Structure 1
């Protein structure tokens, strides 16, 4: 009944107006244009969107041969990552937690494996994309889950390419590990419509070295050191297809993309007493492997035609994620008695099986029509039904404690039956029905849009690891419903022939993390204290403003400056229930609740231009720099939002050499320091600078060879950990441990050949 009422309310305006709608469509690019050196720099697009949007075609990134969308996003303004070296997974737009950034594929939401609902952008090979859009503010016709903004990954469609090309290459990873990359794309007329198909296979190997030194306190006694190797290796497989055809007076567009990630994370570490690396001081030997297989599938159908005096769009979508992981950890302990290595004193074995299935079914009915010669009305209703099943199990830990006269332990420990971990067996269902209305127009030098979006959410949480309700057959599900009104407005003023001003204001939302909703009790999750989720959490909401100016430089260049501000309310933070924890006196049970407010603000600068104004029209330069800051109050006082870098800087150049049919270039990136604080732990993270280069040469009329190098400065990740037994010790600065960790990898080189046909 609710769906019928909302559909009726959203489409009542169909009775108004009676004007025709016309669509202008650009011709597809040829395969040669996709592959061959252009002879001029590739720059950021200067879009005509009213909402502040930065757009980057694949060619902007492609010369540096990024393996994934995450690698490509490292070059756009305000994007940071808090990943391992050579990793770019959870995108942190404006430095905020990935849950504050909306990741879209072709304008549609996609589920992610993370408990914060975020999607790992390193799951999409860069070869699939047509362009990437950074949408700084929100509009009524898009989901409001975009406090920091949105990243829209636009894949090639059936109209984007005429012809095809194949791509093959060799990748040399650190440690002289060799990988391969292969891809093929074709687009053209098939039957009555146009078809595009593409596929790719690429290896990813990331061997890293880590070293940790642990002290009893800052500046105190060195208690132990750990030497670790961390090798992450795997293969990404992808397939995408799109078909567009005229049907019954309208246009039908169907598309799909499938990506499989197979990955093995192999961590081996040795821990020594003090700073001495000798058998006499050997403390532990640890072997920790995680075998991962993740599948992402997105199917989409869109039909649009002229009717009711405008254009009507019908959309259906299906997106799914399955994440299967098996993890084992074997640890041998020494120096628990007087007998040193090779005689172990205790052996411990753990296993964990993780199976996450997340599915979303979406539908939309939308209509756009002119009201006057200069004003257009758009309205519709969008539906999303999500079901997320989590199954995390492990057998009882196997432990052999061996006395001074060691006895042999079995090579294959006998594990017991699999048992769900607390919070590890659950089903979360969400139903969203979001009607919206938006009006846009323009006159002379002004273009604008304004709209209202009403998001309704019904949530059901069934955690099967908490005690069941005593009544036979009774449901253990906890229900939570809420609705939020999200206004938005944007305007673009053309100040003169070269300058324009863009102003935007919008209300956005962030829904709670899945692990924050689970009512399962996790013992000693916060140091020695326990944690229990809160299924009654309200979402965080934010009012935001973006004000930017943009100037055209010459015929193709652009320079922009943007200032943003977000006022976030109902922040979800840790709170103390006052109950004693499972470890006894001095420990507590913590939960999360909507408490307090926060502010996020910053300045973003970007420049992308050829140097044609000084006679160097084949030289392109780019520079973007963002200064990021925020303010929040937690259990210890004021801090920034957790893990927000204070700045991110990118600059570089490309140089085309027309007479040689060649080009080369370089890019430099530096991300500022980040600090995070939760109960019982604080961490400061720093990254070294990253340098990438490319050289390309057109070999024949349809063939290009490109050589690239990344991480040429051997960037390091450094982390400082302050660890405490409980909140009381954290407040008094009574340290449980102070750890310094450094992670390094090495350069990555690629040789890639593209042949167009």
Structure 2
């Protein structure tokens, strides 16, 4: 279905042309003379008309449709007028002006310097005057975030929390919503996801050097993509036009991991220059490069939720040794042809290499029982109580793989002011891929031993005899090996037209536009399973673990036993013909391609009624999915093509308001609607059947929709000061969960199909409280203190359907309480920050729709981080940081906190660095 863009545009143009309009425009630029920088996100107010605009990129601002006459322009930072300038507007003319700040030494300099308070102030100004509800984190002058990556910086924002991998922040949740239900864009171009089945983008791949700001939009407007139930995260990269002339920055850093006693380097550089031409054009070129290596590890003991009535079926010891390497690069071009015409080309590249080696001891408790058919005793699984010992099957496993994730984003666009019209357009291309060129998924050495047990149900400790640690007891059983490549590409084009008008003397805007996007997700896997080694020339004595061991593993949760050498395992693989060991089922069923097309159009308008801003509009999105995969019949060992398609569309109304009670206090209200498509794993065209049972994705899933209500009050209290409270409610329809879909269309002949289905509804209700303040009113030296805190309390409910009825659960990955407390200090070149982040426990995994006893939860976590920096000179700075000061572990449990699902320790990480800025 296509949306009638041309008739809509013609109708709006005729309508707007008939409305009253004034003749003059003001186009200007705000500059800080002493820093030789432009100043973004400051408010420019026309005092006589009480009209406000925010400065944008390059410090530019535009005030259209002004009656002829003299006006006073006030520059407002932190709610205070810091500069005034008189200007005359003439009929049918565009008046150019430049406003200069810091022309002499003054207290204004304290507002505009680089530092914690300055960055908080800029963020608050941008949030304060936005049409909708946003949260902003500004980097300092050229992109240095206070946290190590974008994800960890965003956890400080009210309502946001992060999902960690091996202790590192990776994915961001907005208001308790899963990362797969939020959008991530870079310079307006949506990022695809490297992982095969996900939509979520890991933000730890975004090096801080490449970023100028992070913007979280919590109430979408009609001109934004609607694919965010929680919120949309925009990554804004560097622009050279924000400075005059050339600049550069260099940094070097060393990180020390306490758990593994390893040190790793990191360094980055960024530079730019602005070239001015005789005819007035300005070309800005900015580039950045970042390299970050981290060698670290973790100690783990987990059960995976294998508890049955307080007894344990299985436990696993894991020892991780990990090396992660991040490379980031950006190259941006910005061209100001004149004050009314701008073009840009923004390029971002990120590479994330994860080299992980995992040793695991998998202990399955059981007993010997007599098998009459075999006429012998055989091992049978049997749960065991804490303190008891007995027979167990033990598998010593090695996983050794290297994955490389790459993301490339390119955006080419422009902005043009044509009388009372603004034309914007952008062509975006992005690609993400995850490449695993060949990894050991599991080399398994097995033994059956007696006298095995455990103590402590929360952090299980193994009870084992000496034979457990003897490599001669274990024989190589199998090696799983995998080569995988996932690619996700997206191309988009958008166009937006805005008309500035007056309606009954009230300044207003009409805006409409369209966007087309094409996305393709492709997964390719070749899986191999090597076994029956004695049939391929290996003797039993060659296959004992002692022939593959390389000393004792360094494991902090007890004694582990011998390590397994990855190189010796690979020697076995290289000695065999891989093609003889192909796992046809796993290789074929995981190969699929999904094409996704989304065409959208919108219409919106806003009007400033004195102290009231109203925004209303509607967005239309049409979605088309085409699926190409495989179905595998295990009984017949036959593959057949699995093709399907799905079509749907949504109309999404939107209404928002902002009301200024006084100069320092304002109210907001919003009703918005959003739609998120299923993840690629959930709708994958992959079916594996055996008899009348099957496992499958579900291509016919409906998209999830959410109707959102938001109310807030904001009060601003001077430099870096604000107090706010927000209420939010989300009504989510067609919630997706794991389910048995046997009997549904396409699966009528099956008795059981493990897949995904749409639930009835889910709701999320919450309140966000936030406050920040620089305590300048205190006596020296305490006037350098800065305090920031936020608290989010929320409640969620989702409904699961199953054959016997219904069950209510909380939304997966939703913490009902998140909180941050940041204590900062800056004075005389010294900057200190102590930051605490808390999130309560949350539902991680639903085991069965009709039985909550197997549900897995992540326990509450509190992490404490410290950072310090000192300016040796105006250009040279040293910094020091400690992450995870208190060695907070990761803990997940099965239904009750005393029953371990996973316990993992990481230890603190220390960073010491130095940076030099040319300005």
Task: Report the TM-score, using the length of structure 2 for normalisation.
Answer: 0.73
Pairing 1:232–2:315 present: no
Larger Rg: 2
Partner residue, 2:136:
55
Give 2:910's match in structure 1, choosing from 736, 742, 749: 749
Q: How many pairs were matched up?
A: 726
Question: What's the CA shift string for 1:696-748, capped at 9, x where partnerless?
Answer: 1111231011111110010111111369xxxxxxxxxxxxx964421011111
Give the SS at the match of 1:408: helix
Partner residue, 2:400:
289
Distance in 2 between the 1:232 and 1:24 partners?
52
Pairing 1:589–2:589 present: no
CA contact (8 A) 1:41 1:619 kept: no
Distance in 1 between the 2:812 and 2:305 partners?
24
Partner residue, 1:394:
527
Question: What's the CA shift string for 1:547-586, capped at 9, x where partnerless?
Answer: 1111111343011111100001122233323479xxxxx9
Give the SS at the match of 1:412: helix
Distance in 2 between the 1:452 and 1:88 partners?
36
CA contact (8 A) 2:241 2:283 kept: no
Q: CA deviation at 1:663?
A: 2.2
Distance in 1 between the 2:872 and 2:211 partners?
25
Q: CA deviation at 1:280?
A: 10
Output aligned runs, 1:577-616, within 5 Å. 577-578=741-742, 588-615=752-779, 616=782
Give the SS at the match of 2:13: helix
Q: CA deviation at 1:66?
A: 2.1
Q: CA deviation at 1:94?
A: 1.4
Question: What's the CA shift string for 1:407-463, capped at 9, x where partnerless?
Answer: 434951433365453541111111111111110121221112111110011111111
Distance in 1 between the 2:666 and 2:875 partners?
40
Partner residue, 1:618:
784
Question: What's the CA shift string for 1:97-142, capped at 9, x where partnerless?
Answer: 1122111222331111242311111111122111111211111011
CA contact (8 A) 2:162 2:173 kept: yes
Give 1:460's match in structure 2, choosing from 621, 626, 644: 626
Q: CA deviation at 1:531?
A: 2.5
Give the SS at the match of 2:232: strand
RMSD between superposed Cα atoms in Å = 3.4
Partner residue, 2:162:
81
When residues 611 and 267 of structure 1 are mapped into structure 2, their CA distance, relative to the original with a 3 A threshold, is same
Partner residue, 1:557:
721
Partner residue, 1:731:
none
Give the SS at the match of 1:416: helix
Give 1:327's match in structure 2, choosing from 419, 431, 439: 439
Task: Report the TM-score, using the length of structure 1 for normalisation.
Answer: 0.88
Give 1:535's match in structure 2, choosing from 691, 699, 718: 699
- After TM superposition, the structure 1 stretch with the greater mean CA deviation from structure 2, 77-86 or 23-32, is 23-32
Give 1:384's match in structure 2, choosing from 512, 517, 521: 517
Distance in 1 between the 2:10 and 2:631 partners?
44
Distance in 1 between the 2:233 and 2:275 partners?
32
When residues 84 and 499 of structure 1 are mapped into structure 2, their CA distance, relative to the original with a 3 A threshold, is same
Partner residue, 2:256:
172
Give the SS at the match of 2:868: strand
Q: CA deviation at 1:336?
A: 7.0
Distance in 2 between the 1:264 and 1:743 partners?
19
Q: CA deviation at 1:395?
A: 2.0
When residues 306 and 682 of structure 1 are mapped into structure 2, their CA distance, relative to the original with a 3 A threshold, is same
Pairing 1:124–2:215 present: no
Give the SS at the match of 1:300: strand
CA contact (8 A) 1:7 1:381 kept: no
Distance in 1 between the 2:388 and 2:335 partners?
68
- After TM superposition, the structure 1 stretch with the greater mean CA deviation from structure 2, 634-643 or 701-710, is 634-643
CA contact (8 A) 2:483 2:527 kept: yes
| Structure 1 unaligned residues grouped into runs of 5+ | 468-473, 581-585, 724-736
Q: CA deviation at 1:23?
A: 4.9
CA contact (8 A) 2:534 2:540 kept: no
Give the SS at the match of 2:225: coil
Q: CA deviation at 1:69?
A: 0.7
Partner residue, 2:599:
433
CA contact (8 A) 2:299 2:319 kept: yes
CA contact (8 A) 2:249 2:917 kept: yes
Partner residue, 1:408:
542
Q: CA deviation at 1:363?
A: 0.6
Give the SS at the match of 2:124: coil
Partner residue, 2:93:
none
Distance in 2 between the 1:695 and 1:347 partners?
52
Pairing 1:264–2:355 present: yes
Flag as ranges the 4+ runs of structure 1 deviating above 6 A: 31-37, 60-64, 273-282, 336-340
Q: CA deviation at 1:595?
A: 2.8
Q: Which has the higher contact order (CA 8 A, sep 6+)?
A: 1
Question: What's the CA shift string for 1:174-217, capped at 9, x where partnerless?
Answer: 32211111111112213641111111111123311102358974
Pairing 1:242–2:323 present: no
Partner residue, 1:726:
none
| Structure 2 unaligned residues grouped into runs of 5+ | 39-108, 277-281, 366-385, 452-466, 544-568, 634-639, 745-749, 849-853
Q: CA deviation at 1:400?
A: 4.7
When residues 36 and 85 of structure 1 are mapped into structure 2, their CA distance, relative to the original with a 3 A threshold, is farther
Partner residue, 1:493:
659
Give 2:858's match in structure 1, choosing from 682, 685, 698: 685
Q: CA deviation at 1:665?
A: 2.1
Q: CA deviation at 1:592?
A: 2.4
Output aligned runs, 1:304-323, within 5 Å. 304-307=415-418, 309-323=420-434
Q: CA deviation at 1:282?
A: 7.8
CA contact (8 A) 2:512 2:604 kept: yes
CA contact (8 A) 1:14 1:308 kept: no
Distance in 2 between the 1:278 and 1:576 partners?
38
Distance in 1 between the 2:113 and 2:415 partners?
35
